[in-house]
Structure 1
Amino acid sequence: MCTYPCYRYNKVAAPNRKKKTKNISLVFFDMDGVLLDTVSSWRYVHEYFGTTNERSIIPYLRGDIDYLEFIRRDVSLWKKNNQHVKKTTLENIMNTIPFIKGTKETISFLHHCGIHTAIVSAGINLLADRVARDLGIEYVFANEVTVGADGRLTGEGVLHVELTHKDKNVKELSQKLSVPLNACAAVGNSCFDISMLEVCGLGIAFNPEDACVEHSADIVIKEKDLSRLIPALESYI
């Protein structure tokens, strides 16, 4: 049984799988629950402010609002003294989120093997950029919160990653680097990662939250240690 909310509530079907996998040369990672030890960076910030985005989730999954509006509704709740918070405040909150065990070791291994790495996250760009810098990940796709001249969030955002269509970002970078999709791997943990797991030659469910992401993966790693990815990938490198 899948947890709720679930990818299956999205009306657009996931793409067909690639059946033949070449030597992997590009690996895509979801961020929350895969690289970082948190279910959701958005939720992490909400918990700090004592707010919640639950009222926006169902309208989004039903198609009543788009993901950009979903982001706007989230950011509009993060206020202090009736003002939007400063960028530095948000960064300080998110900087307390720890890495999943084995993350640094795994990314170092991939880079040592000459494999490109990328983050595809519907999370916050400020956090994704910091994670990429700390780990040396080359490419980042995440959603942007806009910052005004006063250093405060404006309450607006820029959509770069659709929650249920991460395959679009995978295809974009695959084409840019001239890496065929069957030479790509994707690592995710939830229903919202299914589209990128299925479009890549190798889909890996890591520390999976949902039964459906397990069923959509070629490899399932249930232990919460990303270094378990290393032996799983060795035969594909």
Structure 2
Amino acid sequence: MEFSKKMEEPSWRFDEVVNMLKGKRIEQAKRIVQTFPITEGAEHTLNELKHRGYFIGVFTTAPEFVVDVLAEKLPIDIECGTILETKGKVFTGKIIEQVDRYTKAKYLEQVMAENDIARNNVVVVGDSILDVPMGERAGLFIAFNPKDRYIIESADRVFVKKDLRFLLNVLK
């Protein structure tokens, strides 16, 4: 399937993915996403952070259904992703609400205000320039396997690792 192969590529234009989804059933797209590997150590790390009392959010520019699949596997308290239009459980090829780097930051600020979370209690883990505005609002901004130099320059700490469990030592 073209969509499955395209989603496996390391970089893709969002409009290409939206166009490929046109006419596809939501469940079909979710089944494909369910086959993607989750970052090593993510399940253990997030479960442990949840046990320690952390509030866990995922804010992404990816389609919301992708985050929904993650939320079925991981202890995610709140999520934000680009909302795609559907009719009869089929994607129309249109975007209802696109999440970009600034939307993610605005949403983070909203969650912080609604839950009375102080900046120094916010940790942002990101991998691209799209995470920098959120990182600027956090007490600690960690670049995890950064994709570009700009995030490296903006982050408080940089980790090039394959396993997310390093976070457990950072967030003692």
Q: Same fold (TM over 0.5)?
A: yes
Residue identity in the other structure for 1:101: E
Structure 2: state its 5+ residue gaps. Answer: none
Residue equivalent to 2:62: 123
| 2:109 pairs with 1:171 | yes
Instruction: Determine if contact 1:186/1:200 at 8 Å carries over to the other structure.
Output: yes
Shift of the 128–49 alpha-carbon distance from structure 1 to 2, 3 Å rule, reads: closer
**Native 8 Å contact 1:190 1:213 kept in 2:** yes
Instruction: Quote the Cα distance in structure 1 between the aligned partners of 2:18 and 2:38.
Output: 24
**2:19 aligns to what?**
76
Equivalent residue letter for 1:201: G
Matches within 5 A, 1:171-210: 171-210=109-148
Confirm or deny that 1:98 pairs with 2:57: no
Contact 1:171–1:181 (Cα < 8 Å) also in 2: no
Looking at structure 1, the residues matched to 151 and 53 of structure 2 have their Cα atoms a distance apart, in angstroms, of 28
3-state SS of 1:154 partner:
strand
> Which residue identity lines up with residue 177 of structure 1 in the other structure?
N
Q: 2:99 aligns with which of 142, 161, 185?
A: 161
Structure 2 residue 79 is matched with structure 1 residue 136: no
2:121 alignment partner AA: A
In the superposition, relative to structure 1, how do residues 115 and 156 fare at CA in structure 2: closer, same or farther (>3 Å)? same
The alpha-carbon distance between structure 1 residues 224 and 144, as it changes in their structure 2 partners (threshold 3 A), is: same
1:111 CA displacement: 0.7
Q: Distance in 2 between matches of 1:212 and 1:189?
A: 10
Deviation of 1:161 (Å): 2.2
Greater relative contact order: 1 or 2 (C-alpha under 8 angstroms, separation 6 or more)? 1
Per the normalisation by structure 1, the TM-score is: 0.65
Same amino acid, percent of matched pairs:
26
Q: Secondary structure at the match of 1:199?
A: coil
Greater fraction of residues in helix: 2
Q: Distance in 2 between matches of 1:53 and 1:118?
A: 24
Three-state SS of the structure 2 residue aligned to 1:226 is coil
- More displaced stretch, 180-189 vs 161-170: 161-170
Higher Cα radius of gyration: 1
**Is 1:232 aligned to residue 143 of structure 2?**
no
Q: Which amino acid aligns with 1:140?
A: E
Contact 1:107-1:135 at 8 Å conserved across structures: yes
Aligned length: 169
Unaligned 5+ segments in structure 1 are 1-43, 55-69
Q: Which residue of 1 aligns with 2:86?
A: 147
The DSSP-based 3-state class of the residue aligned with 2:35 is: coil
Q: 2:25 aligns to what? A: 86
The AA in structure 2 aligned to 1:214 is: I
1:114 CA displacement? 0.7
* Alpha-carbon shift at residue 109 of structure 1 (Å): 1.2
In the alignment, what sits opposite 1:21?
A: none
1:159-205 deviations in Å (ceiling 9; x for gaps):
25223542111101001101112211100011111111111111000
